[in-house]
Amino acid sequence: MEMTPAYLEVAAQALREAGFECESTSVGVDEPGSSLEEITRFSLRLGLDRHLVLETLHYGDQPHRYMLSLEAWGGLSFTPFPLDSWKVWPDRIEFKFSVEPRSGLGLSFFVRTKGLSSPSPS
């Protein structure tokens, strides 16, 4: 599967259908010397402790770049990090980072899209 802005939107939609609240924004970028033209962002939340952000960075004549950050996932969080690829499965989404070119192996994690429930606030 080719990584495209439309396919990232498919991933966001799958999370939305799994119960995540989704806020979608697109902002133009006007920075001198930068070829970055626009950022499309999907901010996805489930309950109080699950929040991730998917971004597409649109460049003029260069390939798009994709970012993911975990704002909160239980006690885990990390700053935006470049996504190498992602795969939408019927019951989960796999996000992959830092792929080793020869083996295709890389750091990845899965977000289940079936059987999710929002934890009750305590």
CA torsion angle 14 36 106 17 (round to 10) = -10
**Does residue 8 register a pLDDT over 50?**
yes
Q: Which pLDDT belongs to residue 122?
A: 37
d(CA 17, CA 26): 21
pTM comes to 0.85
Q: Which pLDDT belongs to residue 98?
A: 78
**Does residue 60 register a pLDDT over 90?**
no
| Full strand arrangement of the beta sheet holding 50-59 | 21-28, 36-46, 50-59, 65-73, 76-82
pLDDT in tens, 75-112: 888 888 899 899 999 999 999 987 788 887 888 889 99
For residue 71, give both structure tokens: 């704002």
